[in-house]
Structure 1
Amino acid sequence: MKQGNIKVALVGNPNAGKSTLFNSLTGLRQKTGNFPGVTVEKKSGTFRIAGIDAPVTLVDLPGTYSIYPKSKDEAVVMDILANPKHPDFPDVVIVVVDASNLQRNLLLFTEVSDLGLPCVMALNMLDVAQSMNLTVSAVQLAMQLNVPVASINARTGVGIDKLKEAVKQLLEVQKKPELRYFYEPKKEEIALIGEVKQIYNLQNDYVALQYVCQHDNFSFLEQPARTRLDKLIEKYGFDENHFLATETVARYEKIKPIVSKAVKSSGATEQPYWTRKLDSILLHRVWGYVIFALVLLLVFQAIFSWATFLSDIVDGGAAQGIEWVKSVLPEGVLNDLITDGILAGVAGIIVFIPQIAILFALVSILEESGYMARVMVIMDKLMRRFGLNGRSVVPLISGVACAVPAIMTTRSISSRYERLLTILVTPLMSCSARLPIYTILIALVVPSTQVLGFFSLQGLVLFGLYFLGLFGALASAWLLSLFIPRNEPSYFMLEMPSYKLPRWGHVGFMMYESVKSFVLEAGKVIMAISIVLWVLSSYGPGDRMKKAEQTTLTKMSNAPQEEVDAAVASARLENSYAGQFGHFIEPVIRPLGYDWKIGIALLASFAAREVFVGTMATIYSISGDSEDVPTVKQRLLQEKDPETGAPMFSAAVCASLLMFYVFAMMCMSTIAVVYRETHGWKWPLIQLAYLMVLAYGAAFVAYQLFS
């Protein structure tokens, strides 16, 4: 038996329970990245099998209904399974099959089996099949397909040990078992298959046919190889479309008798009663939208209602921690760098961990329950009016978490036109990086007044900002659709999963992973920017800072010492490198109500939006000293407009900042992923330009209205 570096691939239809099984097998031993050579995101992890010393690597391949791809992420499946040299090429393939829809799921299983790969069938959702009065025999399937079949419940973990044992048995077999092949080449295909096998050193007839049909999708084939295959197709007069049609028909003809023997019905085979009852409400042409709006409102209400207490504790704890570090370390440059630079910037992020955790937990619950698929269905009709379709909902809703993976999920959209539109407008959805900015600014100027006895005014404003982002995305899609030509028809097909209770372990894991990713990824950027910003704010050209300090001391010789210290710190910051740069851009941002300090934070947040709050915390730590270290919120509340003496963060300034960050594309990672997905700088630059103009205009209008 092979020991070490064992690869197992997980394949299955969407909604068959593949991701659930992946989480059950790997637990916390997971990591995300990109498949080698492509920008499609992959999940991989490790699990243990008794009797095998080394951990087994499990690679979760994108969900697909067939090995013939309709989108970029589906193309990855065959790009790996047809290429033994691929680093993720599996020793065993686990095909997850939905027992409640066996005939359609067996199409993919038979295709993968025909590739000659050792396969194990994971027969999932037997409970759903039972609720539909269906009894599915794993023994019958194993006998007819000549493959191991493990009956499992991916949600509860039932049957997982049997599945591992089946994988182990395939790994132990020295000689591959005799597979049942479901597609037999026709006489006119045999010569073509033979030549392809000889040229490319292939052993399997069906793999050779895939080289013929899918060579344009295979990233491992160079252009000369693709050209040679095109010539072979022309030489033998091979009709790819005819082959695909006849092959699918032939497969279903062989699948039908297998299903009839393995599946027994004891009554009407319809969806469970509660599924039909809930769908009649949640998919209603009026109530469906109302309920969706209420669900979103509850989500954003929860972010304020549940997280405020925890955030206050974290904020106060961070301030006390910084004060303790300041008192322990000897006075000097190192003390200032660590406390006023690094720790002040990081404190501006960790204070928002409760909000981020609650947001991701609630989104995970919506996905786990099956409700998110219903949202896609009801939104399809609305989306089409703006040039999109129902599948665009997934990237848009995912954009609430982060625009980078959300843009990558657009690969599931088959229409290039709709995919491009979705990419261009997804950054308008308010991501989790904006949440720290929203919550701190709302808390500054919006009272926590209760409305209708339950909703708080702050929660309603937050909901309004997210809704404004959605409205901006749809309006932008409609406007852009007038200038981008559509070259292919659009269609939307989706199989809706049954309703399920959320798996709280998976919800907790999602919270943990999301918070960890947010803190670590943001923390790296904030650490670097905080250090650079502290240096730029603590030093200046020539002796300008020293002269500014002496001038201030002379003017305020009779003032209390605390006021003198604050004025000196502010004067030094204003004459530092950062202050000079802030003054340089101030004329451009002054119409929006911003001063040079806010300008510094705006520029710093181009690296990542969430850096704004950390930067403001760093700036105001440097620009004023106090015996007690204030919280982030207190720092902003204490800031005064030097011209009027009024609070700097007035309702007008906060409204302007909120509008700016709703629409601005201030995220280098998003720009980079758009570049990769569109294969050039044309669309990223267009996207950056139109969103910045939109953000500036909205911020200007908001400031004028509230002034």
Structure 2
Amino acid sequence: MKDKKVVALLGNPNAGKSSLFNQLTGLRQKIGNFPGVTVDKKVGFCRLDSKTDIEILDLPGTYSIYPNSLDEQVVLEVLANPDHPEFPDVAVVVADASNLKRNMLLFEQVSDLGIPTILALNMLDVADEMGISINSGKLSKILGVPVVELNARQGIGIEGLKYTILNQLEVKRIHANLPVFDEKSETIAAEVRKKYNVSNKYLALQYAAQSPKMMFLGAETQKDLQNLVLRYDFNADEFQSSETINRYHDISGTLSQVIDETGELKETVSEKIDKILLHKIWGYVIFLSILFLIFQSVFSFAEYPMDMIDQGVAGLNDWLKSVLPQSTLVSLLTDGLIAGVGGVVIFIPQIAFLFAFISILEESGYMARVVVLMDKLIRRFGMSGKSVVPLISSLACAVPAIMSARTIGSWKDRLITIMVTPLMSCSARLPIYTILIALVVPDTKVLGIFNLQGIALMGLYLLGFFSALIAGWIMKLILKSKERSYFIMELPTYKMPRWKQVGFMILEKVKTFVFEAGKVIVAISIVLWVLASYGPGDEMTQAEQQVIANNPTVPQEDLASKIASVRLENSYAGHFGKFIEPAIAPLGYDWKIGIALITSFAAREVFVGTVSTIYSIGADPDDESTIKERLRNEINTNTGQPAFSVATSFSLLIFYVFAMMCMSTIATVYRETKGWKWPLIQLGYMSVLAYVAALVVYQVLK
């Protein structure tokens, strides 16, 4: 027996379920995994009254209890298993009032499973705008369940819903008003109920129709059920189609009694806007213009806070060195930890601005239009329309983007999407892009208004996108995938962004970026400091003495710089860098950049923290101490040229557009493909692509 009361939120995609979840739970929510699967579950906690706390479970959006994806299968696993730890005491089905007929199918199925159910009519304002009015009181009497009216985005009707949930918690499982099915279905339902002690007729029919998808039944029970299906010649597909047709006939009769569409049916504001934003030409022009604005803003607006953070970190380091006694511990703190972490903290403003724009586009309803626009384009390159969502999502992070590919029914289409998604530039690449662009692209205006650095940044993102399309097309040919895919998406209405929600998203993403990257960078900074401060035997001491002996007349400041440089070169890190230098020299990289390349396999953003640590240890203390100035003044000892010349910097930029340098992504691909074959293929082809592209760019530009 579970000691908690669980209320499940169900609904079609874009019915407003997530908005309701946020209203009910506020900040009392967390994300985890359902037992035995990698599908995310959102769980929150809500206080109904002074004595009653409940758990709110936000189940994945679905159109019915017949799943077409891993996400939707979770809904069936939870609702069909009364012993599931998350089995709901009450189900709240959130329905879009402007398209109630389509939403009612899921409601009827959930209600017929015997779970105490509430129908929550959301988006009544949109229905009113379309000239639709619903008599919710009469609908409640016909259905025999509570019907509540909501505006989840604005928090209207939330208290009434809480009161209704409280009342429904007292209701036991219901069995009345179940539909009558054909004779064969009724017979097999009776057999399943008797044999497996299933109390609900409709649930018994789901056992017969969908046992292969109900993993909780166990292999032996699934096999027995399949034998039963064969014995009764029960066709699950025919049962599903006839059930759906009959339900919609029943739904039409019910809604005809409660919906009044006599009002003037007007073209909604959203429909008018969509004529422009989804136009076959202007739609793409507007989307590219919005992207252009975002990347311009990432550079223009973030420049001043970034410079302040950069100078603040440098000032903190200088102050600590001046007030603390010179020691190994102080060197670890300043040249190791602060230099490494400072290399990431500096990019907080850009991450914040990027996610602010993404959140505003999602909140306003425009991001769904972007998905529809991209669907038209992506099909020309052989991918499924459902691949659009993972590709767009990977602009934030490839890990959840790859997991979102579960919505793709075809295994080949899903595999192709997983294999090309990391080519899209994620937020972890942003620190690398921006610092290298700032070094070699002039901060000048084009046509008096456009920032040249913003244009370069947008170019890198577009390069990743078109590379993903081409890679997908090639993989489609290799895998010989000929399945015809479909893509259906419910477009939400346009809305004013909820600024509180935008603020929450910025805070969460920045916090995730800083703490997730920070943990890796702190560990790597300590290891790097040790490797760069110590060397095999007495090599570092001998090298230092040789420099002193060979430069008797050199001023003390220049001598200190030479000693720092030669000590680093003879350290463990230096030896490691020298070992891999022959392989990366054709790309224009020296051994110091080589160290950063290797460490950034843990996570791409570690590159900046690594170069901050490496160049902080080996730099002249009298040089400019900010990260940008240190990198700008660094010289490649092999060529005598700046280490971050135009050719080298652009080579690095192109390398990181294509390189598969993220252990979390590799682990996720392994988990999603259930083996090492595809992650290793992905790592191989992206590494070769990155190396060859970087080689060509350097050789052309040098």
Give the conservation status (yes or no) of the 8 Å contact 1:322–1:629: no
Give the match's secondary structure for 1:433: helix
Aligned with 2:101: secondary structure? helix
Query: Superposed, which structure 2 residues align to 1:52-67 within 5 Å?
Result: 52-54=51-53, 56-67=54-65
Equivalent pair of 1:413/1:419 in contact (CA under 8 Å): yes
Looking at structure 2, the residues matched to 357 and 374 of structure 1 have their Cα atoms a distance apart, in angstroms, of: 23
Per the alignment, residue 254 of structure 2 pairs with 258
Which has the higher mean CA deviation after the structures are superposed, 630-639 or 186-195? Answer: 186-195
TM norm structure 1: 0.96
Tell me the SS of whatever aligns to 1:65. coil
Change in Cα spacing, 1:6 to 1:561, as seen in structure 2 (3 Å) is: farther
Distance 1:553 1:200, change over 3 A: farther
What is the distance in 1 between the residues matched to 2:645 and 2:570? 25
C-alpha separation in 2, matches of 1:305 and 1:605: 27
Find the residue that maps to 1:566 and give its secondary structure: helix
Question: In the alignment, is the contact (CA less than 8 A) between 1:147 and 1:179 conserved in 2?
Answer: no
Query: Helix, strand or coil for the counterpart of 2:428?
Result: coil
The structural deviation recorded for 1:131 is: 0.2
Q: Does 1:6 align with 2:5?
A: yes
Counterpart secondary structure, 1:67: coil
Aligned to 1:453: 448
Question: Is structure 2 residue 286 aligned with structure 1 residue 304?
Answer: no
Q: 2:87 is aligned with what amino acid?
A: F
SS at match of 2:530: helix
Paired with 2:154 and 2:70, the residues of 1 have a C-alpha distance of 32
Q: What's 1:403 paired with?
A: 398
- Partner residue in 2 for 1:27: 26
Amino acid at match of 2:49: A
Q: In the superposition, relative to structure 1, how do residues 653 and 571 fare at CA in structure 2: closer, same or farther (>3 Å)?
A: same
Instruction: State the TM-score, normalized to the length of structure 2.
Output: 0.97
- Shift in Å, 1:625: 4.5
Retained in 2: the 8 A contact 1:660–1:698? yes
User: Is the partner of 1:121 in helix, strand or coil?
Assistant: strand
Q: Determine the C-alpha separation between the residues in 2 that align with 1:201 and 1:669.
A: 44
* Residues 424-447 of structure 1, C-alpha deviations (whole Å, 9 max, x = no match): 111000000000000000001111
Aligned to 1:162: 160
2:431 equivalent in structure 1: 436
3-state DSSP class of the match of 1:45? strand
> Does the 8 A contact of 1:146 with 1:179 survive in 2?
no
Please state how far the C-alpha of 1:268 moved relative to its aligned partner.
4.2
Q: Residue 592 of structure 1 aligns with which residue? A: 587
Partners of 1:612 and 1:583 in 2: CA distance: 18
Distance 1:271 1:41 in 2: 37
Q: Structure 2 CA distance, aligned partners of 1:177 and 1:229?
A: 24
Q: Distance in 2 between matches of 1:441 and 1:515?
A: 21
Q: 1:329 and 1:586, CA in 2 relative to 1: closer, same or farther beyond 3 A?
A: same
Unaligned segments of structure 2, at least 5 residues: none
Rounded to whole Å, the distance in 2 between the matches of 1:18 and 1:410 is 21
Structure-2 separation of matches of 1:444 and 1:115 = 63
Note the C-alpha offset of 1:179: 5.6
Q: Structure 1 residue aligned with 2:410, among 411, 415, 421?
A: 415
Partner of 2:458: 463
Name the counterpart of 1:237.
233
Map 1:292-691 → 2, pairs under 5 A = 292-486=287-481, 488-626=483-621, 630-691=625-686
Alpha carbons of structure 1 residues 572 and 502: separation in structure 2 relative to 1, 3 Å: same
Query: For residues 318 and 149 of structure 1, what CA distance do their matches in structure 2 show?
Result: 57
Aligned match of 2:263 in 254, 260, 267?
Answer: 267
Identity of aligned residues (%): 58
Rounded to whole Å, the distance in 1 between the matches of 2:452 and 2:4 is 55
Aligned partner of residue 44 in structure 2, secondary structure: strand
Counterpart among 87, 94, 97 of residue 95 in structure 2: 97
User: Which residue of structure 1 lines up, in the alignment, with residue 47 of structure 2?
Assistant: 48
1:617-656 CA distances to partner (integer Å, 9 max, x unpaired)? 0111111241687121122112112134332111011000
The whole-number CA distance in structure 1 between the counterparts of 2:185 and 2:592 is 72
SS at match of 1:298: helix
| Equivalent position amino acid for 2:141 in 1 | M
Equivalent pair of 2:11/2:62 in contact (CA under 8 Å): yes
- Are the aligned partners of 2:383 and 2:476 in contact in 1 as well (CA < 8 Å)? no
Instruction: Give the Cα separation in 2 of the matches to 1:104 and 1:522.
Output: 44
DSSP 3-state at the match of 1:335: helix
Q: Could you tell me which amino acid in structure 2 is paired with residue 203 of structure 1? A: S
Match of 2:219? 223
Pick closer, same or farther for the CA change 1:48–1:697 going to 2, 3 Å. Answer: same
Q: Deviations over 1:351-398 (max 9, x none)?
A: 111111111111111112221222222222221111113321211111
Distance 1:401 1:208 in 2: 43
Matches within 5 A, 1:111-150: 111-150=109-148
How far the C-alpha of 1:84 sits from its partner, in A, is 2.5
| In 1: Cα distance, 2:498 partner to 2:248 partner | 35
Q: Separation in 2 of the partners of 1:348 and 1:181? A: 64
* 1:239-260 deviation line (CA, Å, top 9, x unaligned): 1011001110111122112211
Of residues 57, 65, 83, the one that matches 2:81 is: 83
Shift of 1:284: 1.3
Task: From the superposition, tell whether residues 517 and 180 of structure 1 become closer, same or farther in structure 2 (CA, over 3 Å).
Answer: farther
**What is the RMSD of the two structures over their aligned residues, measured on CA atoms?**
1.7
User: Deviation at 1:666?
Assistant: 0.3
Partner of 1:279: 274
Structure 2 residue identity aligned to 1:512: L
Is 1:203–2:199 an aligned residue pair?
Answer: yes
CA contact 2:658–2:689 (8 Å) conserved in 1: yes
Bigger Cα displacement from structure 2, 478-487 vs 620-629: 620-629
Higher mean C-alpha displacement, 290-299 vs 213-222 = 213-222
Whole-angstrom distance in 2 between the partners of 1:591 and 1:495 = 50
The runs of 5 or more residues in structure 1 that have no matched partner are none
State how far apart, in whole Å, the 1-side matches of 2:336 and 2:135 are. Answer: 65
Conservation of the 8 A alpha-carbon contact between 1:428 and 1:663: yes
